[in-house]
């Protein structure tokens, strides 16, 4: 957006958190990281401010209100602000009423769990629906999410699809042997790749169990990512006696992800909840097939590739689908063609259209 000539100002409210070992003692080691984050900084020339607010565990609505008040206090004090994007719908959408009262056009942007998980709690679903009505404008990264937000708002379908794009220059097709050599991986055998946070909704344990059930000869599975389920994943791999067929690499720089995709034979995604998964876009751009569970907007990326989508969370079923896909995968060119029309430029075009509409509606009111 900056490169397109827009002024961008980011406000990221953060909970007050103690410095030191207290967070680890209370089971919240990320507190120290939050406490150390600067209140003001510039990233690539973009100003970022992080006002603090009081966060009390277990009080979702009160915490969302605290988040919104902290954000609005800074936004409303800014010299100029033409439109506000509440990116990651909850809790940011809780600011919609205050922003509307200040005659600031507001767009609520849904990403995934910020809508779907919130919608599972009736009290929060009702609150988010009211926020959408207060803002009057919303968008999301998948049609599945757009439809969910329309239902929550309970009125005319006003949601707009602003899909994630993929950088086709960064994520390119490369020779598999070359990619494996760069990563220090064995040149022979099948490599099943799992990329993402090791957390419940990504369900890496299901991916591991499905791989084990597939019983693929001379095959390995590699997890790229970090998260709370890492110890459980390690333990499960030992229980399955996978030995050196299991690799847990942790987080890697985004620049090296292209090599990981190209080194693999298939990307396996077993999420229970998704918006529009970037890993699917990136793997396809690298010419690699994907096997994914049917969650959220994932199916929208795999239209025309029915062998890449499985409507089950049974590891036995997923394992059989994995074997079938590896035996008869779509070509690299077919995978790449699936996402060639999904550029970030198109995504920004859609976002600019949403922002222009929000401003026009505010002026009309």
Instruction: Tell me whether residue 1 is in a domain.
Output: no
**Domain hosting residue 113, numbered range:** 10-165+344-364
141-188 per-position pLDDT tens digit: 999 999 999 999 997 889 999 999 999 999 999 999 999 999 999 999
The reply to whether 358 and 328 lie within a common domain is no
Please report, for the domain that includes residue 26, its CATH number.
3.40.50.2000
Over residues 78-83, mean pLDDT: 78
- Residue 22: the pLDDT is 57
pLDDT reading at 23 higher than 60: no
Quote the percentage of the chain above a pLDDT of 90.
86
The reply to whether 352 and 327 lie within a common domain is no
Separation between Cα atoms, residue 86 and residue 108, nearest integer Å: 5
| Nearest residue to 51 via CA among 31, 71, 34, 65 | 71
Q: How confident is the model at residue 17 (pLDDT cuts 50, 70, 90)?
A: confident
The reply to whether 256 and 107 lie within a common domain is no
Separation between Cα atoms, residue 193 and residue 249, nearest integer Å: 11
Quote the percentage of the chain above a pLDDT of 70.
95
Q: How confident is the model at residue 29 (pLDDT cuts 50, 70, 90)?
A: low
Instruction: Tell me whether residue 278 is in a domain.
Output: yes
The reply to whether 204 and 151 lie within a common domain is no
Residue 43's Cβ-side half-sphere holds a number of Cα atoms within 13 Å equal to: 10
Over residues 195-214, mean pLDDT: 97
**281 burial via Cβ count (<10 Å: 0-12, 13-18, 19+):** buried
- Residue 24: the pLDDT is 54
Distance set, CA 131 to CA 81, 207, 261 (Å): 20, 36, 39
Per the CB < 8 A criterion, the answer to whether 92 and 64 are in contact is no
The reply to whether 186 and 146 lie within a common domain is no
The reply to whether 138 and 210 lie within a common domain is no
Angle value at C-alpha 315, between 311 and 320, nearest 5 degrees? 75
The reply to whether 193 and 255 lie within a common domain is yes
- Residue 31: the pLDDT is 77
The reply to whether 220 and 310 lie within a common domain is yes
Over residues 292-313, mean pLDDT: 96
The reply to whether 62 and 77 lie within a common domain is yes
The reply to whether 188 and 299 lie within a common domain is yes
Q: How many domains does the chain have?
A: 2
Torsions phi, psi for 310 (to 5 deg)? -125, 125
Instruction: Tell me whether residue 2 is in a domain.
Output: no
């Amino acid at each position: 957006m900056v490169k397109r000539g827009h002024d961008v100002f980011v406000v990221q409210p953060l909970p007050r958190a103690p410095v030191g070992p207290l967070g680890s003692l209370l089971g919240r080691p990320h507190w120290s990281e939050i406490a150390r984050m600067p209140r003001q900084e510039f990233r690539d020339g973009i100003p970022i401010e992080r006002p603090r607010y009081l966060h009390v565990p277990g009080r979702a609505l009160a915490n969302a209100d605290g988040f919104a008040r902290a954000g609005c206090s800074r936004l409303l004090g800014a010299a100029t602000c033409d439109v506000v994007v509440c990116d990651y719908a909850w809790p940011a959408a809780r600011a919609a009423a205050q922003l509307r009262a200040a005659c600031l056009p507001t767009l609520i942007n849904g990403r995934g769990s910020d809508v779907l998980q919130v919608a599972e709690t009736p009290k929060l679903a009702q609150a988010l629906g009211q926020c959408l009505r207060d803002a009057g404008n919303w968008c999301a990264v998948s049609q599945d999410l757009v439809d969910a937000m329309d239902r929550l708002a309970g009125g005319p379908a006003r949601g707009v699809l602003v899909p994630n794009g993929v950088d086709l220059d960064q994520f390119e097709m490369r020779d598999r042997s070359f990619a494996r050599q760069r990563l220090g991986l064995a040149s022979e055998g099948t490599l099943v790749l799992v990329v993402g946070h090791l957390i419940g909704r990504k369900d890496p344990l299901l991916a591991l169990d499905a791989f084990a059930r597939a019983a693929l000869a001379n095959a390995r599975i590699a997890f790229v990512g970090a998260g709370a389920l890492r110890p459980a994943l390690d333990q499960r791999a030992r229980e399955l006696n996978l030995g050196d067929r299991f690799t847990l690499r942790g987080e890697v720089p985004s620049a090296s992800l292209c090599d990981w995709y190209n080194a693999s034979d298939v990307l396996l995604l077993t999420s229970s909840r998704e918006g529009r998964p970037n890993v699917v876009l990136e793997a396809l751009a690298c010419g690699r097939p994907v096997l994914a569970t049917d969650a959220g907007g994932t199916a929208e990326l795999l239209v025309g590739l029915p062998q890449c989508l499985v409507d089950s969370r049974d590891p036995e079923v997923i394992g059989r689908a994995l074997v079938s896909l590896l035996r008869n995968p779509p070509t690299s060119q077919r995978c790449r063609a699936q996402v060639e029309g999904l550029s970030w430029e198109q995504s920004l075009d859609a976002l600019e259209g949403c922002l222009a509409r929000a401003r026009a509606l505010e002026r009309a009111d």
